[in-house]
Amino acid sequence: MNAHHADLIALLAGLAAVLVTASIAGHVLQRRLSPDGTNNVIENLNDRVKAWWIMIVLMGLALLFGRFGTTLLFAFASFAALREFITLTDTRRADHWALAAAFFLVLPIQYYLIYIDWYGLYSIFIPVYAFLLMPIIAALRGDTNRFFIRIAEVQWALMICVFCVSHVPALLSLQIPGYEGRNVLLIAFLVIVVQSSDVLQYVWGKLLGRTKIAPHLSPSKTVEGFAGGALSATALGAALYWITPFSPLQAGLLSFAIVLMGFFGGLVMSAIKRDRGVKDWGHLIAGHGGFIDRLDSVIFSAPIFFHLVRYWWSLT
């Protein structure tokens, strides 16, 4: 067994131990406080733990299969997220060809470019070529009603659901001296830090939360919850330095940067949901909403993390 597989398995075993503890705690709380299933907080907690089991298993299998499995997993996540996003847009019949191109041309090409590590093209393919292609296809259909808004929504959907998310498997292509063959652990580091920040902000908010940060966007987010969760996740990231090419200080600073971007990403996606009048992006994952509800923090943090690591640590 090579070193990166050993570290990854140790990390997954640790996460499994945490989930086992959470599952036992949830079962005990349900027996005592919600035997009839009427305590929404307890029921939501148990739904979230069950969903986390599924996500950790899928993520673990993908990471163990390396570049192909990881790229395929996030391509599927992008497809599901793009579908959720498009269902909330005001598209018309004239947009069907543009949408077909987004799903069945732009998305697979972007992930193929990621898979073959063509940085010079995947870094600009969507922001340049797809952004120009979408309005051309829609304009040829001749429907000018709300044209600008319709095109902007599809372009934004591609940026959020495909371009940003694709930077997660792109981490596998970075060439970091002394870290060869272990890049999959960078993905684990990113996902664990960002997702744990969401959980820890929720916990700290329930324990100490008083001051609302953005009551019109996300009433549950508080200054105390954000501060406690961000600092806790930063400390966790610093403690996980051993799976990265970073020193503890560097791991902590990078963790703080992606935690901040994850938080702001959550606010932006909440603003879009409020504008559309929905609570969740979807209902595919019990206790978690849709794919975008789980990816919103990763969406904003992944490109920043990728480019910081590429600029400061990678040879390419």
The reported pLDDT for the residue numbered 65 is: 74
The reported pLDDT for the residue numbered 181 is: 84
For the record, the structure tokens of 13 come out as 């075993």
User: What is the tens place of the pLDDT at every residue in 166-225?
Assistant: 999 999 999 999 998 889 889 989 988 998 888 888 778 878 888 888 888 888 788 999
Residue 202 identity (one-letter amino acid): Y
d(CA 42, CA 46): 6
The chain-wide mean pLDDT, for the chain, equals 86
CA distances from 1 to 49, 56, 234 (A): 30, 21, 30
d(CA 6, CA 21): 23
Q: Where are the alpha helices (DSSP H) in 209-290?
A: 223-239, 248-276
For the record, the structure tokens of 119 come out as 């940085």
Of the candidates 217, 303, 223, 316, the residue with the CA atom closest to the CA atom of residue 258: 303
User: What is the tens place of the pLDDT at every residue in 10-43?
Assistant: 777 777 787 788 788 777 878 877 777 777 767 6
> b/e for 59-72, b at 16 or more Cβ within 10 A?
bbebbeeebebbbe
The residues near 182 (Cβ < 8 Å, ≥ 6 apart) are: 3, 4, 7, 243, 245
The reported pLDDT for the residue numbered 311 is: 94
The reported pLDDT for the residue numbered 19 is: 78
Q: Are 8 and 15 in contact (CB under 8 A)?
A: no
The reported pLDDT for the residue numbered 44 is: 65
In this structure, the chain runs to a length of 316
The reported pLDDT for the residue numbered 201 is: 86
List the domain range (segments joined by +) for residue 133.
3-312
Sequence-distant contacts of 248-254: CB under 8 A, at least 24 apart: 251/189, 254/305, 254/308, 254/309
Domains: count for the chain = 1
d(CA 84, CA 32): 37
Residue with the larger pLDDT of the pair 58 and 163: 163
pLDDT winner (highest mean) among 157-171, 206-220, 269-283: 157-171
Task: Tell me the pLDDT band of 3, cut-offs 50, 70 and 90.
Answer: low
Q: Are 298 and 191 in contact (CB under 8 A)?
A: yes
Output the pTM of the full model: 0.87
pLDDT at 290 over 80: no
